[in-house]
Structure 1
Amino acid sequence: MPLPAPGHGYPRRADCARTAATGVNPHKRYAFGGATTGVVTLDTSLEVTVDGSGERVRLVLVVENGGHEPVRVTFRDSGGADFAVRTADGEEVWRWSDGRALAQALRPAEFAPGESAAFETEWPDPEPGDFTAVGELRVREAEVRAETPFSV
């Protein structure tokens, strides 16, 4: 089953290759139990781009199956991915899903070997300062997330 398409108002998803990051961009690998091989993996990265005027911050969570077996996941709701922005002391100042009514429907999806997907959104009207962006795939199997520090 293909990855779900986004609905109106949800982070956009587009199949893509990993792109160059602006700033620090840690990559993470998550292991899942696999039916045939025992372990399958998903790699994540989070790209943050602050526009020249500092009026918008673009967040892109890239998830890729870097293994040789398909990775099956179950999305917890219609959101697909969630994004948050925290201050240096850990205070959350923005979350994409706050105030949104997401359909609570489980949706299976599969990442084929080498397949990647990008989930993106914007933090409008950011305040100046140093922050950490967090992107999380909203799946039941494990916590799949990436974090990246940035400044506005």
Structure 2
Amino acid sequence: MRARFVLLMALLLTLPGLAQEQLSARLTVYNPGDGPVRLILRVENLTGQKVTVSQSTGQTHEFVITRNGEVVWTWSHLRYFLQSTGAVVFAPGEIKAFDAEWEGLMDNGKPAPKGHYMVEGYLLNSQGEPIRAESRQLVLTD
């Protein structure tokens, strides 16, 4: 009976869509005002079981900065990723951190103007929706 339960749990942990319920994502934005903006995405396994999140490429996560609903910067812009499947494995209760720095340049290479921006961070998941953190506001000033 225990073997059936373990097998059932193993199958459930790999079903698409369940990772969103098993993982929690938190986004932190550090804006020192005189240097790059630091972005940190922390993803925590909320369960007592191992959780595996599959990716369709070598890219595991993404950060996106928008202004008035328009994308101005993506962390992955002009980056190259291994074109093979991969996975991020979380031990029970484990927290993994993914970070990036934004130098204040838009994807077109121009400096981002002063103003209000929204920052998104998420862990990619090829078997369902990305594991998204709550968006954070960023204000660029002089």
Q: Under a length normalisation based on structure 2, what TM-score does the superposition of the two structures give?
A: 0.74
**Match of 1:98?**
77
Q: Matched residues in 1 for 2:98 and 2:88: separation?
A: 14
- Aligned CA distance change for structure 1 residues 67 and 99 (closer, same or farther; 3 Å): same
**Match of 1:145?**
132
**Match of 2:27?**
46
CA positional deviation for 1:34: 5.8
* Structure 1 outlier segments of 4+, above 4 Å: 36-40
Contact 1:84–1:134 (8 Å) recurs in 2: yes
1:135 maps onto 2:121 in alignment: yes
Q: More strand per residue: 1 or 2?
A: 1
CA positional deviation for 1:45: 0.5
Q: What is the correspondence of 1:61-140 to structure 2 with a 5 Å cutoff?
A: 61-87=41-67, 89-126=68-105, 127=112, 128-140=114-126
Q: Matched residues in 1 for 2:46 and 2:121: separation?
A: 18
Structure 2, unpaired ranges of 5+: 1-8, 106-111
Letter in 1 for 2:122: E
- Aligned CA distance change for structure 1 residues 74 and 50 (closer, same or farther; 3 Å): same
Q: Under a length normalisation based on structure 1, what TM-score does the superposition of the two structures give?
A: 0.69
Structure 1, unpaired ranges of 5+: 1-32
Task: Give the total of aligned pairs.
Answer: 118
RMSD of the alignment, in Å?
Answer: 2.1
- Percent identity between matched residues is 31
